[in-house]
Chains A and B, each alone.
Chain A
Amino acid sequence: MPARLKLFLPLILFVVLALFLMRGLSLDPKELPSALIDKPFPVFTLPALGRDELLDKEAVTGEVALFNVWATWCVSCRVEHPYLTQLAGQGVAIYGINYKDEDTAALGWLRELGDPYIASIADREGTLGLDLGVYGAPETYLVDADGLVRYRHVGVVDQRVWGTILQPLYQQLQQEKESQ
């Protein structure tokens, strides 16, 4: 190796390292792609919160819909609740997955804050959450008309998340459904 090139070796190594670290700065480690993307929503049979009936996969799929994992012990869920209510008012189909919660507390929450959900699946043991790969509330899944999970958002759904990510995808999936 020419001596001149050898002098530049530390600089080259530094630049390579710096590029890697720069990339690392702009990555959000919390943004994990769901393992279920483009895979079917898990099969389940669980009670509907506050209703004397059982819900299963067939009952909640068939339309493009959001599945919002929530619980009364989840602080961020309270933050996003008003926005979900607003979305539901605009006609967005939202199902709730009441994750590892107590029915009485959950029903009290819906009475007090309003109920944006078509129905809430009472996942008391977190079994559906486990099959979905939920690792904490709130999480929101976008499921298409064929019952395939198309997107997972971890954290609060707000105007920015809905406007930039969920809404475009939601509308695209609805168009896909109509063109079928």
Chain B
Amino acid sequence: MSRLLPLLLLLAMPALAVIETYQFSDPALERRYQALSEELRCPKCQNQNIADSNAPISQDLRRLLYEQLEAGATDDEIRQYMVDRYGEFVRYRPRFSGATAMLWLAPLLLLAVGLVIVVMTLRGRGKPTEAADLSEDEQRRLRALMEKADQDQ
């Protein structure tokens, strides 16, 4: 088995080669390639970025990204190039606009709602509740009921 293991590991290697690799002239370009390919969305599969997706269109977009990075395009130029062709949809971090306002503001809004609930709950906890203040009549009735319960036992 111990001899077989390295062989088995070799067999598993092609699984890693599903997504092609590119040789960059500069490590900085490679870092930007990683960042951008995680930020750009695959138009075909919709819930994956182009770094994760093995769809043909994602392969094309990765190659394009590589070529543009090597040609010296800035991140913004590349994003704009993609948006011009595939729409704002292609960005996982879309520009702030009327259509995307909800997307950007919802977390803040929910956080605010949560804080309000926490504050209200904490305030309510400090105060003695009204239910604890029984009138004299009620106190007497309560004592009577409890005594009755004791006798019943």
Q: Which residues of A contact B (CB under 8 A)?
A: 29-30, 32-36, 100, 126, 130-136
Contacts and interface: CB of A to CB of B under 8 A. Distances in A.
Given A29-B46, A135-B44, A136-B44, A35 B56 contact: no
Nearest to A9: B117
Interface of B: 43-44, 46, 55-57, 60, 64, 83-87, 89
A130 B43 contact: no
Nearest to B45: A135
A131 B56 contact: no
B89 A132 contact: no
Contact of A130 (B55, B85, B87, B89): B85
Given A33-B87, A35-B85, A35-B87, A135 B64 contact: no
A150 to B, nearest CB: 16
* Main DSSP-derived SS at the B contact region: helix
Contacts, number: 33
B50 to A, nearest CB: 11
A33 B46 CA distance: 14
B87 A32 contact: yes
Given A32-B43, A100-B56, A132 B87 contact: no
B44 A133 contact: no
A72 to B, nearest CB: 14
Contacts of B87: 32-35, 133
Contact of A135 (B43, B83, B84): B43
